[in-house]
């Protein structure tokens, strides 16, 4: 638990489901995959941690989200069991935290699972709210691709999560939810995750000829600085020649 022992007055509400990831409750048949990395072990600092100021002692680098499994009383919604039975091997892990259900799935099966979740009547996830990525650098499967889905008819929500490594492409769900088009473009722009089958994968927020993927953890906050504008004159000439080629 990452409470600060010396400072806080304690959070009020019960802390909800247990946070130890390694407990054995798996709700789905299929291979019980080991949790994807030990939960960040909170070594309490030897002295009271100062208020957020410059240079706190660097904590252990987090290696992945703790995906806590659902506690005893919570049974997963029916569509998850149905999903696991309709597509065996699809559910790697099931997680429940502060009221959200998360399903961890293998990257190769994303399209089938997505199609099932959209079409199955008890799931009916027709609104793809968000597609995003979290970058956990020390892990070999570095990126956590997350799909947040909502069903307008059944009024429930679920999150899908996949783990991919650097340079590993992910099938695009644009054919299933057109809403994912720009969302995946942004993920590509910011993190460099390639989506196969995307109709128009190009940068969306950064300029088209930008090098690098800004929101990765190893990309500096201040930007690449001189690395990009190595020789501004050459860059200008390149742009000029491109403009001239455009005007016929």
Partner 1 sequence: MTETRAGAVTPAVHHGAMFDTNELVLNMGPQHPSTHGVLRVVLRLDGEKVVDADVVIGYLHRGIEKLSENRNWTQIILLTDRMDYVAAATNNVGYCETVEKLLSIEVPRRARYVRTILCELQRIASHCLWLGTHAMDIGAMTVFLYAFRERELILDLFEEFCGARLTYNSMRIGGLPLDIPSGWDRKVLEFCRIMDSKILEYEELLTHNRIWLERTKGIGVIDGPEAVAIGLSGPALRGSGVPRDVRKDEPYAAYDELEFDVPIGAVGDTYDRYLVRMEEFRQSLRLIRQATEGLPEGPIVGKVPRLIKPPAGETYHAIESPKGELGYFIVSDGKSTNPYRFRVRPPSFCNLQGLPRLVRGHLVADVVALIGSLDIVLGEVDR
Q: Which 88-127 positions form the footprint of partner 1 (CB under 8 A)? A: 97-100, 126-127
CB of 179 to partner 1, least distance (A): 3
CB of 126 to partner 1, least distance (A): 5
Contact flag: residue 192 with partner 1 (CB under 8 A): yes
Contact flag: residue 182 with partner 1 (CB under 8 A): yes
Q: Which CB sits closer to partner 1, 6 or 29?
A: 6
Q: Which CB sits closer to partner 1, 20 or 85?
A: 20
CB of 21 to partner 1, least distance (A): 10
CB of 233 to partner 1, least distance (A): 20
CB of 122 to partner 1, least distance (A): 17
Q: Which CB sits closer to partner 1, 110 or 148?
A: 148
Q: Residue 122 region, left (φ>0) first, then alpha (ψ -120 to 50), else beta?
A: alpha
Contact flag: residue 248 with partner 1 (CB under 8 A): yes
Contact flag: residue 234 with partner 1 (CB under 8 A): no
Site for partner 1 in 129-158 (CB under 8 A): 129-130, 132, 134-135, 146, 148, 152, 155, 157
Q: Which CB sits closer to partner 1, 31 or 60?
A: 60
Q: Which CB sits closer to partner 1, 79 or 177?
A: 177
* One-character DSSP codes across the chain: ----TTT----SS---S---TT-----S-S--PPPSSPPPP----SSPPPSS-S-PPPPPPP-S---PPP-TTPPPPHHHHHHHHHSTT--SEEEEETTEEEEE--GGGHHHHHHHHHHSTTT---EEEEEEEEE-TTSSS-EEEEEEEE-TTT--EEEEEEEE-TT--EE--TTT-TTHHHHHHHHHHHH---EET-TT---SSS-TT--S-TTSTTS-TT--GGGT-S-HHHHHHHHHHHHHHH--
Contact flag: residue 230 with partner 1 (CB under 8 A): no
CA dist 56 and 158 (Å) reads: 36
CA dist 242 and 21 (Å) reads: 54
Among 26, 27, 30, 66, binds partner 1 (CB under 8 A): 66
Q: Which CB sits closer to partner 1, 167 or 230?
A: 167
Among 28, 37, 39, 83, binds partner 1 (CB under 8 A): 39
- Asked whether 144 and 92 are in contact (CB, 8 A), the reply is no
Among 26, 38, 62, 111, binds partner 1 (CB under 8 A): 62
Paired residues of 104 in beta bridges: 93, 161
């Amino acid at each position: 638990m990452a409470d600060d022992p010396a400072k806080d007055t304690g959070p009020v509400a019960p802390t909800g489901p247990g946070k130890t990831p390694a407990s054995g409750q798996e709700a789905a048949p299929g291979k019980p995959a080991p949790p994807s990395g030990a939960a960040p072990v909170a070594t309490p600092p030897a002295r009271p941690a100062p208020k957020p100021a410059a240079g706190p002692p660097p904590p252990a680098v987090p290696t992945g989200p703790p995906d806590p499994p659902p506690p005893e009383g919570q049974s997963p919604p029916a569509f998850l069991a149905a999903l696991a039975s309709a597509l065996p091997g699809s559910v790697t892990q099931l997680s429940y935290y502060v009221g959200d259900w998360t399903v961890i799935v293998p990257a190769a099966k994303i399209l089938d699972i997505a199609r099932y979740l959209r079409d199955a009547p008890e799931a009916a996830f027709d609104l793809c709210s968000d597609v995003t990525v979290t970058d956990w650098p020390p892990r070999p499967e570095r990126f956590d691709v997350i799909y947040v889905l909502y069903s307008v008819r059944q009024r429930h929500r679920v999150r899908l999560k996949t783990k991919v490594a650097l340079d590993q492409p992910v099938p695009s769900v644009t054919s299933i939810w057109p809403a994912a088009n720009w969302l995946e473009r942004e993920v590509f722009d910011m993190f460099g995750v390639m989506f196969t089958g995307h109709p128009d994968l190009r940068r969306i927020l950064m300029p088209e000829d930008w090098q690098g993927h800004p929101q990765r953890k190893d990309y500096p906050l201040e930007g690449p600085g001189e690395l990009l504008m190595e020789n501004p004159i050459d860059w200008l000439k390149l742009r000029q020649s491109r403009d001239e080629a455009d005007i016929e």
